[in-house]
Amino acid sequence: MDEMTRPLRVLEAQGDRLEVTLPAVESATLLQGRRELVIRHGAVMYRLRLTASNKLILTK
What single string gives the DSSP state of each residue in 1-60?
--TTEEEEEEEEETTEEEEEEEE---HHHHHTT-SEEEEEETTEEEEEEE-TTS-EEEE-
Do 17 and 10 contact (CB within 8 A), yes or no? yes
User: Considering only CA atoms, which of 1, 42, 9, 48 is closest in space to residue 29?
Assistant: 48
Q: Into which CATH architecture does domain 5-59 fall?
A: Ribbon (2.10)
Residues 2-37 have pLDDT tens digits of: 556 665 565 555 566 667 788 889 999 999 999 999
Rounded to two decimals, the pTM is 0.65
Q: Is the four-CA dihedral 36, 38, 41, 44 of positive or negative sign?
A: positive
- pLDDT at position 1 over 80: no
Q: Where are the domains of the chain?
A: 5-59
